[in-house]
Structure 1
Amino acid sequence: MIRVPVSLFLAAALLWISALPLQSRETGMNLSSVPFREVRLQQTAAVSSPHAGMPEAEIKDEEIRETLQTLYRLMEEKETYMAVKEQQIDGIRKMLATPRMSDEQRYDVNLQLFNEFKTYITDSAIYYAKENIAIGEKLLSSERINDSMLDLASLNIISGMYFEASDLLTSIERETLTPGQLIKYFDNYKQLYRSYAFNNPYATQYAVQSNHYRDSLLQVLDKSSNHYRIVYAEKLYDENRLDASRQILLTLLSQTGGDTHEKAVLSYALGNVYGKEGNRRLQQHYYALSSVSDIKNAIKENASMQSLALSLFEEGEIDWAYACIKSSMEDAMFCNARLRTYEVSTIFPIIDSAYQQKLRKQKDDLQSFLLLVSFLSLFLVVAILFVWRQMHKVARIRKKLYQTNLKLNDLNGELQESITQLNLTNGKMQEVNAELSEANEIKETYIGQFLDLCSAYINKLENFQHALNKKVMERKLEELFRMLKSRDMIDQELRELYQLFDHIFLSLYPTFVEEFNAMLHEEERFLLKPGELLNVELRIFALIRLGISDSSRIAAFLHYSANTIYNYRTRVRNKAAVPRDQFEQMVMKIGVIQRVE
């Protein structure tokens, strides 16, 4: 497993933050002491991760994967953010061309350029720091000289120029430093000795010296400041008090808005804490968040990208690890930060070798696949030739089958035509059978009732004859004449005849009245009186339903004139809701015959 001094990376990142100018709460002066401030973003749309300061339990694997994917997308867009950075630098650099600019003004502009270049191009930042030393000497301003020398010393440490940094710090008279400069002074010494401890046989001694200066730094820092908290979190980290260190960093990160350089440093520090705890997923998450902020702020002097590459490499994510270490190498070379370049160069060959090995394996797999494809292609050609020959055979057979099918289709067509004719004939026969069945049903019903009726009439005639004979024998001629002239008996017989007809008809067609009314307009429908089975109009159309459509025959049965029957039929047709010319045909289709038991 590749080991990297993550504590050194943390300290180096903190040094860059501590070099940012901010109005000190201790002195009220413009100092370069407190690391956490609101860094002005150069991007027009900086978007922070919605779960940047979440506790561990609230960050899901999908969110971590999403953060990594965002980072890989931004790697392809680095040029866009660099262009914004260059545009801002050009805007500040143009201020140096202002006519009759005072040395004080030139010093301030150089300081702005130093702040822009210190994490972008180290050599340019060193140049402007040296320029400001010269201006400070010209102005005989010990404060400006000390500030610029402290800035230059911090750059020399990052660049690996330890002796130059040590000479600068030794040349500074500690008694002349302001409170804010004293913070930078202790911070630089802390970083210098920590850097000495890297790959050094006297690492323990240098670490003690670094911790000594860190304790001095904590003594002069405002305990309520973010700078104090981050340095104290580093101390807790080195002492393996990881829970307390993590809590401080998470709190600070939750108070940091936007994709600022401050967020990048805090996220990187959290990644180190989780890495030391063995929590690989959150280590990668916070390294990725830090790298996203670095890219958006065009920070070329960074440690999070190479740390993420290492973590991914150790998990076997070779492609992603290679993309990260390649991006980190590009940034280090662009920034010309020799220490960072050296660190990346110790890691890059290992990841690159694994990546190239994977590519070779993929190439070998591809060659094997191509060989297999070639073999399969040859087999396919042979198979195609075989299939082609078989297809010719099949084509000949298919042609014969086609001709046979044509003949079968012709025969089938003739058969279907015969079946159709047969079905039509069967349909007509079924209709005729239905009509015959209905007619037979009617005949059976009415013949039976007719015989009963005739028998009843014969009995009534016999009784009537006996009554007449009795009146003659008794010489009751007046009563005899009265009986002969009276229509009561005839009317009673007609009523009984119609009632019997109605009963028999409705037994055959029980839904006749409802279906008949359904063919009339709603307001014209017949409403029968209580006890009434059919009225005159319904009785007329009942006879029509039985097949008696001649008005004279209907009139004879109902004892009306033929003209009256015609008028009834016309009046009812006028009430129809269906076509009038089809009304009586539709009446013939009413009901299903119900056999009378």
Structure 2
Amino acid sequence: MQIKEQKILEIKKMLETPDISETQRYDINVRLYDQYKTYISDSAIHFAKENLQIAYKLDDASSINKSKLSLASLYTIAGMYIESMDLLKSIDRKKIPEQLLLNYYDTYKLLYSSYSSNNLYTNIYHEKSNLYRDSLLNVLDTASNHYKIVYSEKLLDQNKLEESKQILQNLLDKSESEDHERAVLAYAIANVYKKESNLEQQRVYYTISAICDIKNAIKENASLQALAIVLYETGDIENAYRCIKSSMEDAMFCNARLRTFEISKIFPIIDTAYQERVTKQKEELQFFLILVSVLSLFLIVAVIYVYLQMKRVARIRKELYITNVKLNELNTDLQENNIQLNNLNIELSEANRIKETYIGHFLDLCSMYISKLEKYQNTLNKKAVEKKLDELYKMLKSHDMIDNELKELYDNFDNIFLHLYPNFVEDFNSLLLEEERFVLKPNELLNTELRIFALVRLGIVDSSKIASFLHYSANTIYNYRTRVRNKAAVPRDEFESLVTKIGVKFTKKS
């Protein structure tokens, strides 16, 4: 910017030359216009207007048209589309010299292109811009960079991305200086990558374009704005904010109303994201400051505590030695007590085993008693059949006595067993799948399946013995046991082993 201002100052000094002609003033104003048009648009417009007045004074048709085209281009950049259109319409196309046709078509193309991006009827004005672009291509030298840049833009609109990219990349590779043309080429390549949704390459080429614009003090630029959007989309909020802020400052400095309007649409979004990020960072910083303060306080307390503890170490060591001696003595006593306790546990286990054995014998006796009653009843029935005692035959033919005795036996067994193992049903169900667990009827202590495994818990694992006690066939008992094992939530081969361990803790405590 200092270099740019120095150049402008030197050119302005030329206007102070005494007795300069209008033609000389016109040429000096053209040079000032060229310096100002991408730097400060208002100043450029001022000198373009002044040149238009000079051209009218000189009655030079070529200079008039040239000044109108320059002013129309500036009006377009400033967003003054109506004024730009009025100037262009005032130019008679048929009277334009050949050398001004390029500017004529280029200015029209720029006007409709800019207007289409800020108008509801986008397609109409975009098509008009394309028509003037085609006219421009017809008069441009096909070997010129200007032609290749405009043609690549046409290829881009036709989605011929690789062809467009190749033309622009070749031109960029050949460019040696970081001038405005290099900025335009890099920006155009970035636009191709934008159509390909390649954010990384967009960032690269928009950055190249922005660097060239900055080095040439070009304030009417689109590269920084485009770069800010790409950085925002890639999550680099801090740099996106720096770029969009710089772009806004440039647009306001240049007074490029169109660029300011475009930036104003994206600036609030990036600014909001940046402010949220800054707020979050402040909150995190505040949190860490508080955390460091708290930790520092704890550290001070810890140092004081350690110092006090160190003073007590000597005394504690002496007390510790005495305590260790006493602990050794206590350990010896404890070992002796543990041996005695183990002996008592062995005795208790033996007592439990004897208790279970007696229960087994008791059940065997009950079963035997019922069997004898049954045998006795059969004998009486036989006598009744022989018509020795008719009335006795009628009484003893009934099985009510046997059924009642069996029911009483089972009830006694259930009560005695559940007295020894009160949590047997819950513990047994815990070994089964949840949907297969037994739900007892009201006033029912054990059912047949639970009774079978209650006998297993008592150590009676022989199916024939269980069958004898429960008055079922051995095959029926086997089927019951198999069916329950199939419902187990634990491995089947470990099921009955786990059943025999039910109530171990309870029996040890008792």
TM-score, length-scaled by structure 1:
0.52
Q: 2:3 aligns with which of 84, 87, 96?
A: 84
Partner deviation per Cα, 1:538-597 (whole Å, 9 max, x = no partner): xxxxxxxxxxxxxxxxxxxxxxxxxxxxxxxxxxxxxxxxxxxxxxxxxxxxxxxxxxxx
RMSD (CA atoms): 1.6
Amino acid at match of 1:160: G
Compare 387-396 and 117-126 and name the one that shifted more: 387-396
Alignment of 1:56-75 (within 5 A): none
Distance 2:209 2:106 in 1: 22
Distance 2:88 2:81 in 1: 10
Distance 1:136 1:257 in 2: 37
2:47 maps to 1:133: no
Partner deviation per Cα, 1:186-225 (whole Å, 9 max, x = no partner): 1111111112211422111111111111111111112122
Structure 1 residue 391: Cα displacement:
4.2
Residue of structure 1 equivalent to 2:123: 204
Structure 1 residue 341: Cα displacement:
0.8
Indicate the structure (1 or 2) with the bigger Cα radius of gyration.
Answer: 1
Residue of structure 2 equivalent to 1:60: none
Amino acid at match of 1:324: C
Compare 308-317 and 188-197 and name the one that shifted more: 188-197
Distance 1:363 1:395 in 2: 49
Distance 2:118 2:66 in 1: 30
Alignment of 1:216-231 (within 5 A): 216-231=135-150
2:65 maps to 1:146: yes
Residue of structure 2 equivalent to 1:261: 180
Q: 2:225 aligns with which of 281, 298, 306?
A: 306
Distance 1:269 1:380 in 2: 60
Distance 2:126 2:253 in 1: 30
Residue of structure 2 equivalent to 1:319: 238
Q: 2:151 aligns with which of 232, 242, 245?
A: 232
Residue of structure 1 equivalent to 2:42: 123
Residue of structure 2 equivalent to 1:347: 266
Amino acid at match of 1:180: Q
Structure 1 residue 393: Cα displacement:
4.9
Distance 2:75 2:172 in 1: 29
Tell me the SS of whatever aligns to 2:117: coil
Structure 1 residue 370: Cα displacement:
2.3
Distance 2:41 2:135 in 1: 28
Distance 2:314 2:152 in 1: 85
2:89 maps to 1:170: yes
Q: 1:251 aligns with which of 149, 153, 170?
A: 170
Structure 1 residue 367: Cα displacement:
2.2
Are residues 395 and 148 of structure 1, via their aligned partners in 2, closer, same or farther at CA, if it must alter by over 3 Å? farther
Amino acid at match of 2:299: L
Distance 1:180 1:304 in 2: 30
2:282 maps to 1:363: yes
Are residues 318 and 395 of structure 1, via their aligned partners in 2, closer, same or farther at CA, if it must alter by over 3 Å? farther
Residue of structure 2 equivalent to 1:186: 105
Residue of structure 2 equivalent to 1:278: 197
2:209 maps to 1:290: yes
Residue of structure 2 equivalent to 1:333: 252
Q: 2:308 aligns with which of 372, 384, 389?
A: 389
Partner deviation per Cα, 1:425-457 (whole Å, 9 max, x = no partner): xxxxxxxxxxxxxxxxxxxxxxxxxxxxxxxxx
Q: 2:29 aligns with which of 110, 120, 145?
A: 110
Amino acid at match of 2:227: L
Distance 1:103 1:388 in 2: 94
TM-score, length-scaled by structure 2:
0.61
Distance 1:388 1:177 in 2: 97
Distance 2:314 2:173 in 1: 77
Structure 1 residue 234: Cα displacement:
0.5
Distance 2:243 2:38 in 1: 18
Distance 1:339 1:395 in 2: 84
Partner deviation per Cα, 1:124-161 (whole Å, 9 max, x = no partner): 00000001101101111011111111000001001100
Structure 1 residue 377: Cα displacement:
2.4
Are residues 394 and 120 of structure 1, via their aligned partners in 2, closer, same or farther at CA, if it must alter by over 3 Å? farther
Are residues 147 and 396 of structure 1, via their aligned partners in 2, closer, same or farther at CA, if it must alter by over 3 Å? farther
Structure 1 residue 304: Cα displacement:
0.3
Amino acid at match of 2:143: S
Amino acid at match of 1:226: N
Partner deviation per Cα, 1:285-320 (whole Å, 9 max, x = no partner): 111011111111111000000100000100100011
Partner deviation per Cα, 1:54-97 (whole Å, 9 max, x = no partner): xxxxxxxxxxxxxxxxxxxxxxxxxxxx1111011100110000
Structure 1 residue 373: Cα displacement:
2.1
Are residues 121 and 396 of structure 1, via their aligned partners in 2, closer, same or farther at CA, if it must alter by over 3 Å? farther
Percent identity for Structure 1 against Structure 2: 59
Distance 2:313 2:103 in 1: 92
Amino acid at match of 1:112: R
Residue of structure 1 equivalent to 2:345: none
Gaps of 5+ in 2: 318-510
Q: Which is helix-richer, 1 or 2?
A: 2
Amino acid at match of 2:279: R
Distance 2:177 2:137 in 1: 28
Structure 1 residue 346: Cα displacement:
1.1
Alignment of 1:527-542 (within 5 A): none
Amino acid at match of 1:137: Y
Tell me the SS of whatever aligns to 1:119: coil
Aligned pair count reads 317
Amino acid at match of 2:236: E
Higher RCO (CA < 8 A, seq sep 6+):
1
Tell me the SS of whatever aligns to 2:217: coil
Amino acid at match of 1:120: Y
Alignment of 1:532-571 (within 5 A): none
